Amino acid sequence: MSPKYTIGIDFGTLSGRAVLVRVSDGAEIATAVSEYANGVIDERLPESGIRLEPDWALQDPDDYIRVFAEAIPAVLRQGGVSADDVIGLGIDFTACTMLPTKADGTPLCRLPEFRANPHAWVKLWKHHAAQPEADRVNAVAAELGETWLPRYGGKISSEWFFPKALQILNEAPEVYEAADRLIEAADWVVWQLTGVETRNTCTAGYKAIWSKRDGFPRREFFRALHPRMENIVDEKMKRELSPIGSRAGSLTPQMAELTGLRPGIAVAVANVDAHVSVPACKVTRPGTLVSIMGTSVCDMLLETREAMVEGMCGYVEDGILPGYLGYEAGQSCVGDGFAWFVEHCVPPQYFDEARSSGRSIHAVLEAHAARLRPGESGLLALDWWNGNRSILVDADLSAVMLGMTLATTAPEMYRAWIEATAFGKRVIVEAFTSKGLAIEEIVACGGLPEKNKLFMQITADVVGLPIKVSASSQTPALGSAMFAAVAAGSTAGGYDSIEAAAEHMAHLKDETFTPNPAHRPIYDQLYAEYVRLHDYFGRDAGSTIKKLKRIKLTVHG
């Protein structure tokens, strides 16, 4: 029998990436990227040229369809694989990225009467214009004592589903009325592939306040939010959710024609880019923290035990893998912070050195910083350039550095910033372990583990846990391909569980970053000081950092 394949598609912010994966061993046979023609729409609507307000970020749903049309044939061609051997398709998406559609799935923005209405388009995850609506959601939930509020750390974000829905209702009631469905783009593309409307438990749980036990928020809450929203779930959504790891349906003949795949092959329920990476990191049970390390860092943990862990972004039953609570935490700025340092704080001599030695500026700084011993610079920093997501959940915080002298150098500061992000990670790990949720190791994926070995080693030293690294550089797409294999099932040549898929298809590198015992005592001392500053500046509503933010806002008026 010829080998079987699945295709995973990762819908990112600027493009979709398809990866053709061999089911037997997870080998990534071919990759193709399709850029969204309209990218992120944040200035003017296509065609009409309608100007958008600040903080808006839209997308064109037809760009997603073009990913199917372009990238799937491309990987088949590149991989030299027959469509007969592709048994399934899975996707993951940014979230909450949502849109209004008609009952048949037609996006409102495709209709001529709504084409020039910004609210008819896809609201991208980073559409931040629904902050007043988020404030209202939080205020009403607090006032009514909604029980789900604490599960999300007491506050939901303007990026989430209901603030975006409420913004449509407030600002374009005609769009809200015309929308038969309000749906995550993740679920919408699966609908387009299968002809069946499903809604996945992951986006619903993390972004639309759904829980397996309690479902969506009650009608009274929605009514208090806005009288016309009372029945939003029944009118424009769905109460039946499809668990991660199940089959949404089969590929329609039309989509088979568009993509070159065979009609009827399995399509998995949609997933979120971060969460789908967990099994792609070969993690299918508790005890291992999965850390997606890039510009920011997302940490995920599977657990069977329920615990109120401080400052988590939320925990969702069946949110990551069926049968487990999925806990999510994160650091809002890591790689971005290092990039800021390199752009704004590094003197010319290091750029000269990079040029003359043919290395990147990061490599030069890393080489200098690696020669330093922990504690020798006398520096300590708080890594809050973009606030603190976990565990303080506070966007008003900002970064701090202490200990500079006339002898302080740029590599010393670079290392101090790296150490600060490692201390931030340890705070998150200890938030879990202090509630009895064990963490024995970390598995990392994303761009940073490749780019910055010093960051990896320092994180291991500071946190005191071994760090393994995913062998794949495209874990979200690999994870989607794995879920596609599960949706296909063993009878079709796939697997019957995500655990089985992970066992065969996910791989880790041989390299493990092991904590250096010689570094631990000094890092323990520095960490104690980090925590002291973290609490001093972070937990007091009147702290100097908060005051500086208030003064800044006053000045900016």
Contact residues for a copy of itself (CB under 8 A)? Answer: 333, 336-337, 340, 343-348, 351, 373-380, 385-386, 398-406, 408-410, 413, 522, 525-526, 529, 532-533, 536-537, 544-545, 547-549, 551-552, 554-556
State which amino acid sits at residue 130. A
Nearer to a copy of itself, 405 or 491 (CB): 405
CB nearer a copy of itself, residue 51 or residue 550? 550
Q: Which is nearer to a copy of itself, 124 or 545 (CB)?
A: 545
Taking the complex as a whole, how short is the minimal distance between the CB of residue 333 and a copy of itself, in angstroms? Answer: 7
Assign 213 to helix, strand or coil: coil
Report yes or no: 202 and 319 within 8 Å, Cβ to Cβ: yes
Q: Measured from the CB atom, is 77 or 552 closer to a copy of itself? A: 552
Nearer to a copy of itself, 322 or 464 (CB): 464
Q: With beta carbons less than 8 A apart as the criterion, state whether 263 and 305 touch.
A: no
Beta carbon nearer to a copy of itself, 308 or 551: 551
Rank residues 216 and 385 by Cβ distance to a copy of itself and give the closer one. Answer: 385
Six token digits for residue 65? 């369809």
In 3D space, the residue among 190, 299, 162 whose CA is nearest the CA of residue 246 turns out to be 190
Q: State which residue, 76 or 420, has the beta carbon closest to a copy of itself.
A: 420
* Least distance CB 348 / a copy of itself (angstroms): 4
User: Is the CB of 490 or the CB of 536 nearer to a copy of itself?
Assistant: 536
Cα gap 440→504, rounded to integer Å: 22
Q: 317: which 2 tokens?
A: 């039953």
Nearer to a copy of itself, 398 or 497 (CB): 398
Closer of 44 and 547 to a copy of itself (Cβ) = 547
Residue 388 beta carbon to a copy of itself: minimum distance, rounded to whole angstroms = 12
- The CA angle 301-305-311, to the nearest 5 degrees, is 55
Collect all residues with Cβ–Cβ distance below 8 Å to 119 and sequence separation of at least 6: 100, 167, 168, 171, 172, 175, 176
- Contacting residues for 372 by C-beta, under 8 A, at least 6 apart: 411, 412, 415
Smallest separation (angstroms) from a copy of itself to the CB of 377: 7
For the bound state, the minimum distance from the C-beta of residue 344 to a copy of itself, rounded and expressed in Å, comes to 6
User: Least Å distance between CB 368 and a copy of itself?
Assistant: 12
Which SS3 state, helix, strand or coil, does residue 182 take?
strand
What is the phi-psi region of residue 519: left when phi exceeds 0, alpha when psi lies from -120 to 50, beta otherwise?
A: alpha
For the CB of residue 97, give the shortest distance to a copy of itself in the complex, in Å: 22
Strand, coil or helix: what is 414? helix
Task: Work out how close the CB of 537 gets to a copy of itself at its nearest, in angstroms, rounded to a whole number.
Answer: 8
- Structure letter (DSSP) for residue 118: G
Alpha-helical segments (H) within 59-130: 61-79
Around 93, how many Cα atoms within 13 Å sit in the side-chain half-sphere?
A: 31
CB of 363 to a copy of itself, least distance (A): 17
Distances, alpha carbon 35 to alpha carbons 3, 20, 70, 245, in Å? 30, 18, 10, 27
Long-range CB pairs of 213-222 (<8 Å, 24+ gap) are: 213/317, 214/147, 214/148, 215/239, 217/141, 217/146, 217/148, 217/162, 220/144, 221/140, 221/141, 221/144, 221/146
List of E strands, 108-212: 122-123, 181-184
Task: Choose between 255 and 397: whose C-beta lies nearer to a copy of itself.
Answer: 397
Q: How far is the CB of 253 from a copy of itself (least distance, A)?
A: 47
Q: Of 88, 326, 311, which Cα lies nearest the Cα of 200?
A: 326
Smallest distance from a copy of itself to CB 413, Å: 8
**Cβ pair 386, 549 in contact under 8 A:** no
Judged by DSSP in three states, 215 sits in strand
Min dist CB 134 to a copy of itself, Å, is 20
259, 190 Cβ separation under 8 angstroms: no
